[in-house]
Amino acid sequence: MALRFRPAVKGDIPDIAGAAVDTVRHIRRQGVDPYAQGLPDGVTEPVLEWAARFTEGGDRGGLVLTDGRAVVLGCACLAVGASAMPEALTGRVGTVALMWVTERERGKGLGGLLNHAVEKWFAEQGVRHIELSWLALNAEAETFWRQMGYQPYRTHAWKAV
């Protein structure tokens, strides 16, 4: 298989939106996560609008991993801006909003390759630090990101009111 990384374009919006929904479904299969329970279970207009933001350029971007043809194997949604912890990091910080590899391709090293492409993209944007998060019940994501060298520095909590 000839893997190819390319910038996300408008035509990728349905695939990016589908990846976001697949991520929610994956998290729900792992257990009851109150945050994930409130997220859409299908591709809705707000999900499509969210996905579109990563195809418009500027301080946001997307990367798409294909099999060298037209089949999307994974994607990443990225943003550059201020740190969530401004006292900890200065300058422009990269944020990974979503990184996804299709379920049938997991365990083949594609996530690591996609992460490498993400880090390269951020470096090209002048970013020196990357922040990302995973949901507390997503042990698979925590294991992956730790293997990629990312270390937790902050815990987020939420409550519906």
What is the per-residue pLDDT across 75-117, written as a single tens digit (0 to 9) for each? 999 999 988 766 565 678 999 999 999 989 999 999 999 999 9
Closest CA to 147 of 103, 116, 121: 116
Order of strands, sheet of 129-132, starting from the edge strand that comes earlier in the sequence: 4-7, 60-66, 72-81, 93-101, 129-132
Tokens of 159: 């409550």
What does pTM read for this prediction? 0.89
pLDDT mean across residues, the chain: 88
Give the CATH architecture of domain 4-147: 3-Layer(aba) Sandwich (3.40)
CA distances (Å), origin 54, targets 13, 14, 41, 112: 8, 12, 20, 21
Tell the burial category of 53 from Cβ atoms under 10 Å away from its Cβ (0-12, 13-18, 19+).
Answer: middle
